[in-house]
Amino acid sequence: MQATIIEAINDALHEEMATDDRTLVFGQDVAESGGVFRATEGLQETFGGDRVLDTPLSEIAIVGAAIGLATYGYRPVAEIQFSGFLPPAFDQLVTNASRIRWRTRGELTAPMTVRTPYGAGVRALEHHSESLEAVYSHIPGLKVAVPSTPHDAKGMLISAIRDPDPVLFMEPKHVYRSFREEVPDGTYTEPLGEAAVRREGEDVTVIAWGAMMHKTREAVDNLDGIDVELIDLRSISPLDRETVVRSVKKTGRCVVVHEAPKSGGFAGELIATINDEALMFLEAPVERVTGFDVPVPLLAMEDFYIPQPPRIEEAITETVNY
């Protein structure tokens, strides 16, 4: 079928709830109304109120309860309505979800998924636009996945739900409905922890993920005469170092694009990895195109903040001409 990202996510949830009756979906406004982005539409009608539940406005309770259910044998899929509201539950991810397997030496495990839309560009209010993936990638024991296409959104979400450990599934809401592509019917998985090479090239490696893949692709398409290898990182943690390093060894140049602020952003980890394993292959410093070290502006000026194609084009051109 042809599907948008949001439709693919909805389809994945239907598939997994039908496959495994220990799978539960809950969060704010997910049941009766089908979610503010309609990601969970139709689930309650199909699977009933016991398995698809509206929760109080209570992020700590949502994530905490997911841990309690997962360690008791369920497969909870919790929705946090916007990733800007996840910080109250950060404690539950750090203190319990990510380390219960480790703490109990494998006696208890937390196979749970927290889905949350992230990123700017939808003209929302304050706290609706953050990209905190690097923060979550710093927690040992927590996987962080960021799909950029409908095909991956469905396959990676099914992987996340089936994963034996907790996964934070960050959805690029800016491109939730911006395009359709062919998405297979039925169940399939896309692995977590593996990047995808979207375009092979010889001149420069460009790495992005989530919504930034689309800005980056636009930039790459605008550049004549530069043969870009474009990597969709897909998984922030665990990180597919092998694909990154192999590519940079081939091209000798690299640009990383992310929406989050520059300082402490995930580009830093990628550059450190490249320094560790491919320093002598580099022909130019690795360039970063990122958000600025400021909060995401309110809706009137958010486009200034978001890395736009011309900025990305400049960085790629400079890196190639270095």
Residues near other proteins (CB under 8 A)? 24, 50, 55-56, 58-74, 76, 88, 91-92, 95-96, 99-109, 140-141, 164-165, 193, 238-239, 241-242
Contact 231, 207 (CB under 8 A): yes
> Minimum distance from CB of 61 to other proteins (Å)?
4
Beta bridge partners, 53, equal 26
Whether 258 is a known active-site residue: answer no
> Minimum distance from CB of 240 to other proteins (Å)?
9
Report the residue number, 94 or 124, with the smaller CB distance to other proteins.
94
Single out the catalytic residue among 128, 151, 174, 258. 128
* Alpha-carbon distance values, 281 to 38, 225, 227, 246 (Å): 46, 22, 18, 10
> Minimum distance from CB of 151 to other proteins (Å)?
24
Q: In whole angstroms, what is the distance from residue 254 CA to residue 26 CA?
A: 40
> Minimum distance from CB of 86 to other proteins (Å)?
14
Other beta carbons within 10 Å of 23:
21
Tokens of 176: 């939730």
Q: In whole angstroms, what is the distance from residue 16 CA to residue 186 CA?
A: 10
Report the residue number, 102 or 179, with the smaller CB distance to other proteins.
102
- Backbone CA torsion sign across 203, 209, 212, 218: positive
Return the closest-CA partner of residue 296 out of 171, 127, 89: 127
Report the residue number, 105 or 321, with the smaller CB distance to other proteins.
105
Report the residue number, 9 or 24, with the smaller CB distance to other proteins.
24
Other beta carbons within 10 Å of 316:
26
Report the residue number, 70 or 306, with the smaller CB distance to other proteins.
70
> Minimum distance from CB of 94 to other proteins (Å)?
9
Q: Which residues are known catalytic residues?
A: 128
